[in-house]
């Protein structure tokens, strides 16, 4: 799972750098060349969505996302474990919903071309779908860790 999380961070980083480059080209082309390209906005949005979803998934893996940290830290140990379990279940559900709904929207929009770019409209939902799969996967991993730590502390 660590390798998968590193890959997610790498993809998010590449998408962030690409988004910055695309935006820089858009500004240069618009204000210096006076000929703004139409493809830059949809591609920058795709990069932004990729950065957000893969970064969020990496945050879930690192235990720094979907945590309700302030409330959990102030709770008693038994309540803390229950709250951590609920937070992981919520994160898993959100990831599954992102994956399912993102996949459905991706499939529904795949046959339409993006205005201004020679790409299928459905590709805009690919990061939502894949990020959802990663969020759910990393949350399930943390649920299993919580379960194992609870089992080992009970025995």
In the chain, where the domains are located? 2-154
> 43 φ, ψ to 5°?
-70, -40
Q: Tell me, what's the pLDDT at 74?
A: 80
Q: Which pLDDT tens digits describe the chain residue by residue (155 residues)?
A: 899 999 999 999 999 999 999 999 999 999 999 999 999 999 999 999 999 999 999 999 988 776 667 777 788 888 888 888 888 999 999 999 999 999 999 999 999 999 888 899 999 999 999 999 999 999 999 999 888 876 666 55
Q: What is the pLDDT of residue 152?
A: 67
Taking alpha carbons only, the member of 17, 45, 10, 16 closest to residue 116 is 45
73-104 as b/e: b if 16+ CB within 10 A: eeeeeeeebebbeebbeebbebbbebbeebbe
- Give the contacts of 102 (CB within 8 A, at least 6 positions apart): 125, 126, 127, 128, 129, 130, 131, 132
pLDDT recorded at residue 153: 64
Q: How far is CA 143 from CA 8, 52, 91, 111, 140, in A?
A: 20, 23, 10, 38, 5
The pLDDT value given to residue 26? 96
pLDDT for 146 equals 83
Q: Among 135, 128, 81, which Cα is nearest to 102's?
A: 128
pTM: 0.87
- The DSSP H or E segment spanning 145 is helix 126-154
């Amino acid at each position: 799972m660590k390798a998968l999380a590193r890959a997610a961070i790498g993809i998010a980083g590449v998408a962030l750098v690409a988004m910055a480059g695309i935006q820089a080209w858009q500004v240069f082309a618009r204000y210096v060349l006076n000929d703004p390209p139409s493809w830059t906005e949809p591609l920058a949005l795709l990069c932004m969505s990729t950065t957000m979803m893969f970064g969020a998934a990496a945050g879930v893996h690192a235990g720094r996302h979907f945590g309700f940290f302030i409330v959990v830290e102030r709770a008693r140990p038994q309540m803390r474990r229950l709250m951590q379990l609920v937070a992981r279940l919520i994160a898993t559900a959100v990831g599954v919903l992102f994956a399912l709904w993102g996949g459905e929207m991706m499939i529904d929009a795949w046959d339409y071309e993006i205005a201004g770019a020679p790409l299928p409209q459905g590709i805009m939902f690919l990061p939502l779908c894949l990020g959802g799969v990663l969020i759910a996967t990393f949350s399930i991993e943390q649920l299993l860790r919580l379960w194992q730590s609870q089992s080992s502390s009970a025995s």
